[in-house]
Amino acid sequence: MTDSATVVTGNGPRKILSNSIDLKPGDFSSIPILDLSLAFSSDPSDRKKCAETLFDACTRVGFFYIKNHNVPEHIITECFGAGKDFFELSLEEKMKIYIKDSENFKGYTPLLGENTDPAGRGDLHEGFDVGYDYASEGDSKMEGVNRWPEALPTIKEPVTAYFNEMVKLGKKLFQLFALSLDLEEEYFDTMVSGKGGIMRLLHYPPQTDENLDMTQLGIGAHSDYECFTILAQDDVSALQVLNKTGEWVAATPMKGTFVVNVGDSMARWTNDMYLSTIHRAINRTGVRRYSVPFFFGVDYETTIEVLESCVSEGRPPKYKPINAGDYIKQRLNETY
Ligand SMILES: O=C(O)CCC(=O)C(=O)O
Ligand SMILES: [Fe+2]
């Protein structure tokens, strides 16, 4: 195994310095925490202060925790419960809604069914993908209904409730991103109906040291495609974030928080001022791990173009305008 590797991102290949399994402190050795109670304050100067912390986190790390996010605890617990029940179904039941039988990337991905890192042998997780639930109408690029397991219809309600909470929270975060970029707080409002959200229930079985191999991780090194991801994790540690010196930093689960990270689409909007940081997950704990990432982006008809506030003489636009739907669909096609 060489010490460096190349990770394919939505914005081109990126060389990473360290391909080792070890965790070490590097240029950032911890992930900042954002207190969202300031973002919910009626005082604009509180919201601006929160946006400044977000700016620091996005330009320096690309990852941050959020606390005081206002998502009711029971909605999160019930969604994790639905995930556990789903993954306990037989493979035969789960394969009835196999993601590759769907034209719009909804349904089940079995173990090793996905290969986040093209150099890897497949990811050691299984997943269930859910999107905005609207009947086929209009010409949106990712239109379509969700696919629920016939044998477990009860999961629809808690999963949908969680999805709707994430849309609410995501819209709030978009306002904070706008403020942090010196835009009107409402700048993204008309572009984020929630239809550009993708949610995944994930299950990572434990990996023992004997079968641990750099070509087969829980999820291989990658960047996310959308604007940002809101991740709920249980209390089992697995997520690691790559810093600029090539070292992996653990995003240890913290009670009452979500982990948020910048994705490739936001990197484009911001001319790479905001970092779409590479990350991976390895579950070496000996117990099962469950997580729920929610990838939030602008509606698929939106044009993603470098924001004026992120361009200067010394920093000309690095990216051409691109249609959000085409961009995301292309990335999903590369993964599945
Ligand atoms: O499960 C995790 O901790 C991370 C998942 C992730 O990075 C992804 O699905 O893109
Ligand atoms: Fe990710």
One pLDDT digit (tens) per residue for the chain, 336 residues: 344 567 777 777 766 555 555 544 345 678 999 999 999 999 999 999 999 999 999 999 999 999 999 999 999 999 999 999 999 999 999 999 999 888 778 999 999 877 777 777 778 899 999 998 765 445 454 556 899 999 999 999 999 999 999 999 999 999 999 999 999 999 999 999 998 899 999 999 998 777 677 778 899 899 999 999 999 999 999 999 998 888 899 999 999 999 999 999 999 999 999 999 999 999 999 999 999 999 999 998 999 999 998 999 888 999 999 999 898 888 777 766
Q: Cβ–Cβ contacts within 10 Å for residue 193, how many?
A: 14
Which atom belonging to ligand 1 lies closest to the Cα atom of 280? Answer: 7
Q: What is the reported pLDDT for 119?
A: 74
Q: With beta carbons less than 8 A apart as the criterion, state whether 279 and 273 touch.
A: no
User: What is the 102 CA–ligand 2 centroid distance (Å)?
Assistant: 22
Instruction: State whether the beta carbon of 264 lies less than 6 angstroms from ligand 1.
Output: no
User: What is the 222 CA–ligand 2 centroid distance (Å)?
Assistant: 6
Instruction: State whether the beta carbon of 202 lies less than 6 angstroms from ligand 1.
Output: yes
pTM: 0.91
Which atom belonging to ligand 1 lies closest to the Cα atom of 259? Answer: 3
Instruction: State whether the beta carbon of 265 lies less than 6 angstroms from ligand 1.
Output: no
